[in-house]
C-alpha cells in the first residue's frame, strides 16, 4: 500500500467503476422487448440513468463498506476519532457534481420527451420540428390534424370539443400530419373497449398495423383507468370526463399485453387485454373481416336499432372472457349516444 500513491489507486478505482457502470448500463436486461418508436428513446435514457446510478452506487456503497472496515473500533480502543468538522471545498464538490448530473438528466429528459411526442397534443395543434420550446398554435382552418374524427360521426366517438388535452402526441417526425389510424379506447370496470371510428368495428383487443402512425383517443366510462403497453413504454390514464391520447408507431409484429395500471376496483388486476401488431396486409384482412361481421351491428346501433345484434350481444363472448357484465357494456353505449 505504502509504495502506491493514493491518487493512482483512486484513478484505477475510478476507471474500474466507470467500466463496470457502462457495462451494467448496457447489459442489465431489465426491460421488456421494444415494440414502438418510443421504446428505444426511453430505454436509452434509462440505460444512461442506470450507468450513472451504478457509478454513484459503487462509489457511495464502496465508501461506506471501506470506511466501516477501515475505521471500526479496535479492541480496547475507547478513544474518539479525528475531530474533522467539515471541508468547504469537499462540500462544494459533492453538491455541484449531483447538481450537474440532475440538470443534465433534466435536459436529456426534455429532449426524450419531445422526441416521444410529448409536446404536440392534437388539441394544441402541430409543433415545429425539433424545437421543444416552440408550440405553434393551431390555425382555425387546420382541422386536418384529426381528420378521422371530424369526418365521421359514429355515436361512440368523442365530439371535437373532446380533443385530448393530455398524453403523448405526434413525434417531430410525424409533425402535424394526421395519424394513419385513429382508435377510440374506452376503459370501464374491468375491460378495454376499442372502437375504430372509420369502420365501425368494436373489439375487446387492439389491432394495429406495424409501421403506421396510430392515435389512441382514450376515455373512461366509470373510474380512472390507465392504459399501458409495457413493450411500447407508453402509459396514459383514462380519465372520466376528459379525453387523453397516445400516439405511437408499432415497430414489431406480435402480441403484447395491455395492462390497466390505475387501481379501478376489486378486479383491477384482471383488467388485461392485448394489442396485436399485424403486418399491413394482415391488418387489412382483419379490418375487412370485422367490418363485414359488424356492418349491421355496432355502427348503426343507434340509427336503425337493429333487431339482429345489440352491442351487448355482440360483446357477450368478450364479456365472458373479461369478466364484465353485459349491462356495463349496454350502459357504455347508452352513455355515448
Residues of this chain, 284-323, that bind other proteins according to CB under 8 A: none
What kind and span of H or E run contains 185? strand 181-188
Show contacts with other proteins in window 154-173 (CB under 8 A): 165-166, 168
Kindly identify the residues of this chain, within the stretch 24-63, that bind other proteins according to CB under 8 A: 30-32, 41-42, 45-46, 49, 53, 56-57, 60-61, 63
Query: In the bound complex, what is the minimum distance in angstroms from residue 207's beta carbon to other proteins?
Result: 20
Shortest distance, position 281 Cβ to other proteins, whole Å: 29
Told to check if 336 binds other proteins by CB under 8 A, we report: no
Query: Of 2, 7, 8, 83, which lies in the binding site for other proteins, with binding defined by CB under 8 A?
Result: 83
Please give the sequence-ordered ranges of beta strands (E in DSSP) within 234-326, or none if there are none: 234-238, 244-249, 254-260, 272-278
State how far the Cα of 198 lies from the Cα of 327, in Å rounded to an integer: 26
Picking from 57, 35, 97, 105, the residue whose alpha carbon sits closest to that of residue 248 is 35
Q: Which span sits near other proteins by CB under 8 A: 203-211, 237-245, 301-309, 310-318? A: 237-245
Q: Is 12 helix (H, G, I), strand (E, B) or coil?
A: helix
Q: Cell 350502459 appears where? A: 331
Looking at beta carbons only, is 74 or 304 nearer to other proteins?
74
Q: How far is the CB of 333 from other proteins (least distance, A)?
A: 16
Distance CA 149, CA 183 (A): 9
DSSP string, 90-139: HHHHHHHHHHHHHHHHHHHHHHHHHHHTTT--GGG--B-TT-TT-BPPPP
Interface positions, 182-221, toward other proteins (CB under 8 A): none
- Of 79 and 305, the one with the shorter C-beta distance to other proteins is 79
Quick one: which of 254, 226, 253 has its CA closest to 240?
226
By CB neighbour count within 10 A (0-12 exposed, 13-18 middle, 19+ buried), where does 164 fall? buried
Nearest residue to 315 via CA among 287, 337, 294: 294
- Which residue is listed with cell 390534424? 145
Q: Which is nearer to other proteins, 228 or 283 (CB)?
A: 228
Shortest Å distance, C-beta 291 to other proteins? 32
Nearest to other proteins of 14, 257 (CB atom):
257
Q: 269 or 317: whose CB is closer to other proteins?
A: 269
Identified binder of other proteins from the candidate list 223, 276, 302, 309, rule CB under 8 A: 223
Residue 149 · residue 158 · CB < 8 Å: yes
According to the binding rule CB under 8 A, does residue 73 interact with other proteins? yes
Residue number, 140 or 241, with CB nearest to other proteins: 241
Work out the widest C-alpha separation in the chain, in whole angstroms: 94
Q: Which C-beta is closer to other proteins: that of 32 or that of 253?
A: 32
Total residues interacting with other proteins, rule: CB under 8 A = 83
Least distance (Å) from other proteins to the CB of residue 117? 10
Find the binding residues for other proteins in span 87-126 (CB under 8 A). Answer: 87, 90-91, 94-95, 98-99, 102-103, 105-106, 109-110, 112-113, 116, 118-119, 121
SS3 302: helix
The span from the CA of 174 to the CA of 213, in Å, is 8
Amino acid at each position: 500500500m505504502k509504495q502506491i500513491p493514493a491518487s493512482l489507486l483512486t484513478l484505477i478505482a475510478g476507471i474500474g467503476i466507470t467500466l463496470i457502470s457502462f457495462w451494467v448500463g448496457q447489459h442489465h436486461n431489465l426491460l421488456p422487448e421494444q415494440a414502438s418508436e418510443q421504446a428505444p428513446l426511453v430505454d436509452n435514457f434509462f440505460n444512461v440513468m442506470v450507468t450513472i446510478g451504478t457509478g454513484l452506487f459503487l462509489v457511495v456503497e464502496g465508501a461506506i463498506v471501506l470506511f466501516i472496515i477501515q475505521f471500526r473500533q479496535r479492541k480496547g480502543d475507547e478513544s474518539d476519532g479525528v475531530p474533522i468538522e467539515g471541508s468547504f471545498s469537499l462540500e462544494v464538490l459533492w453538491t455541484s457534481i449531483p447538481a450537474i448530473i440532475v440538470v443534465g438528466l433534466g435536459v436529456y429528459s426534455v429532449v426524450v420527451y419531445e422526441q416521444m411526442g410529448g409536446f404536440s397534443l392534437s388539441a394544441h395543434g402541430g409543433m415545429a420540428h425539433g424545437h421543444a420550446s416552440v408550440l405553434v398554435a393551431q390555425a382555425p382552418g387546420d382541422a386536418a390534424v384529426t381528420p378521422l374524427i371530424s369526418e365521421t360521426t359514429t355515436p361512440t366517438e368523442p365530439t371535437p370539443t373532446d380533443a385530448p388535452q393530455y398524453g403523448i402526441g405526434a413525434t417531430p417526425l410525424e409533425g402535424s400530419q394526421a395519424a394513419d389510424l385513429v382508435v377510440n379506447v374506452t376503459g370501464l370496470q374491468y375491460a378495454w373497449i376499442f372502437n375504430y371510428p372509420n369502420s365501425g368495428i368494436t373489439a375487446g383487443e387492439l389491432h394495429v398495423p406495424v409501421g403506421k402512425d396510430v392515435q389512441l383517443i382514450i376515455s373512461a366510462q366509470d373510474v380512472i383507468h390507465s392504459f399501458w403497453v409495457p413493450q411500447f413504454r407508453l402509459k396514459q390514464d383514462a380519465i372520466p370526463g376528459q379525453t387523453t391520447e397516445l400516439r405511437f408507431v408499432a415497430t414489431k409484429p406480435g402480441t403484447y399485453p395491455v395492462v390497466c395500471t390505475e387501481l379501478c376496483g376489486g378486479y383491477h388486476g384482471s383488467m388485461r387485454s392485448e394489442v396485436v401488431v399485424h403486418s399491413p396486409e394482415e391488418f387489412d384482412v382483419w379490418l375487412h373481416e370485422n367490418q363485414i361481421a359488424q356492418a349491421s351491428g355496432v355502427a348503426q346501433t343507434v340509427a336503425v336499432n337493429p333487431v339482429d345484434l345489440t352491442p351487448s350481444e355482440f360483446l357477450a363472448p368478450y364479456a365472458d372472457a373479461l369478466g364484465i357484465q353485459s349491462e356495463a357494456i349496454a350502459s357504455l353505449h347508452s352513455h355515448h349516444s
